[in-house]
Amino acid sequence: MAGSTPTQGRHPAHNKAIGLAVAAAVGGFLFGFDSSVINGAVDAIQGQFGLGSTLTGFAVAVALLGCAVGAWAGGRLADHWGRTRVMVLGAVLFFVSSILSAIAFSVWDLIVWRVLAGVGIGIASVIAPAYIAEIAPAALRGRLGSLQQLAITLGIFAALLSDQLLQEAAGGASEVLWLGWEAWRWMFLVAVVPAAVYGILALRIPESPRYLVAKGRRDEAVQVLRSVLGADEDPEERVSQIEATIKKDQENAEKATLRGSRFGLLPVVWTGILLSVFQQFVGINVIFYYSTTLWQAVGFDESQSFLVSTITSVTNVLVTFIAIALIDKVGRRPILLTGSAGMTISLAVMAIAFTQSTGSGDDVSLPGAWGPVALVAANAFVVFFGASWGPLVWVLLGEMFPNRIRAAALGVAAAAQWIANFLITVTFPPLLSQFGATGPYLMYAIFAGLSFVFVLGKVPETKGVELEDMENLPPARRR
């Protein structure tokens, strides 16, 4: 495997790789935008359609089930249609669903359109890391893979900002804004803009070299790689490596399956699934989906709570740059282990702080210094997650699987992530009602601690390893 020095890593040809990675990562922006855009519309939708709390919660979370379907199918479609065509499909689904959600006449058709949006987002979420991993030079793969999470955090921030601006312009999410439409409808309609941008970019970027070689389009694959690799990597040699692995896969076609001896799946597939599940089971989306309740509990009023939520989302964006700067220098495992330790401590502090809370339901407060303690701990949790598990899981999912099963395995792992996200989203309100905030935050702290043990024993170090060599990592690199 050819090595890369830091100077070589800044070869001018890498600018093309960076541009292609940014274009693919716009799918992550859709991911983040969609996961947060409904937050500003929840109360208005509940009032518009006269919903109870259970149906409201389901309408909020149901898109995540569509995401799981999209992620599961997206990996398989990518192997048959190509990465870029499937990106276009995801963009079209999200574009159409955004319009239909905006003109919904009942909660039931809104739920259908939200599921459709979820399918599009699920597709985008699984294709972007696979494409970036396959297009990137080894020396830059970690940093470019981290762009997926950066785009997600930017999407979350853009959705929060968009919702706030539209709500303020109308005087409330349920108030009429333009063309006789309430502000909450415009919140959904705005999403057509990033969807259109993503679709246009997907039509303009080249296909993955791995897919081109698999389809016998060798010259095109060489041309693509020549445009993105630095002087230290030979595109002809890289294509030859891809051809060799594809030939090996064809000779061992029976091995081109996710099935294995560990509960029906290959061990590496389980590693990817558990990475995805732990990323969600630490409760990061509770901070973003239910942040208003949290900040009001520590003493802020409703308007201040929105400001703090926005600041938290900005923090989430900024700390992602820490991971981007360190991932190809320090490696994946040390960053994940540091993040797990930091999340465990900060979540435990939050759980302890809420043992001192008074009141119940939405009327909860923390006396004395406990409010600031919970505030600092919550933001510390966001920092540790945003600088580690947020971006690095997507990087690992894009690069850790053998070539013959990469797209399909990534689809399964991403589907598991969406299902885990759904479970965390729908279980937080009843857990909060039953045990107060201490119960769920203590549970998330336990999962964060378990994630440390999991990384220590099962997650391989993939820094600097070519995708074609992933299956041949020595045991020391896999432990």
Residue whose token pair is 């993939």: 462
Q: How many CB atoms lie within 10 A of CB 341?
A: 16
Please tell me the predicted confidence (pLDDT) of residue 452.
94
Q: What does the angle CA 31 – CA 37 – CA 39 come to, to the nearest 5 degrees?
A: 125
The CA distance from 41 to 284, in Å, is: 21
DSSP-assigned letter for residue 463: T
Per-residue confidence in pLDDT tens, the chain, 479 aa: 333 333 444 555 566 677 777 787 787 888 788 777 777 666 677 777 776 666 776 777 777 888 888 877 877 787 788 888 888 888 898 899 888 988 888 878 888 888 888 888 888 777 877 777 777 776 677 777 777 778 887 888 888 788 778 877 777 666 667 877 777 788 888 888 888 988 888 888 788 788 787 777 878 777 777 776 665 667 777 777 777 777 766 665 555 566 655 566 777 788 888 998 999 999 887 776 666 556 665 566 555 666 666 777 778 778 888 877 777 777 888 889 999 999 999 999 988 988 877 765 556 666 677 778 888 888 899 889 988 888 888 778 877 777 677 767 877 888 888 888 888 877 877 777 777 778 888 999 999 999 999 998 878 777 666 555 555 554 334 44
Query: Distance of CA 276 to CAs 63, 201, 340, 397, Å?
Result: 18, 27, 14, 9
* Residue 288, phi then psi, degrees to nearest 5: -90, -35
Within its chain, how far is the Cα of 199 from the centroid? 19
The CA distance from 14 to 332, in Å, is: 21
pTM of the shown model: 0.70
The CA distance from 191 to 416, in Å, is: 25
Is 327 within 8 Å of 392 (Cβ atoms)?
Answer: yes
The amino acid at 133: A
Residue whose token pair is 């799946």: 265
Is 395 within 8 Å of 140 (Cβ atoms)?
Answer: no
The CA distance from 292 to 285, in Å, is: 13
Give pLDDT tens digits for 446-479. 999 999 999 988 787 776 665 555 555 543 344 4
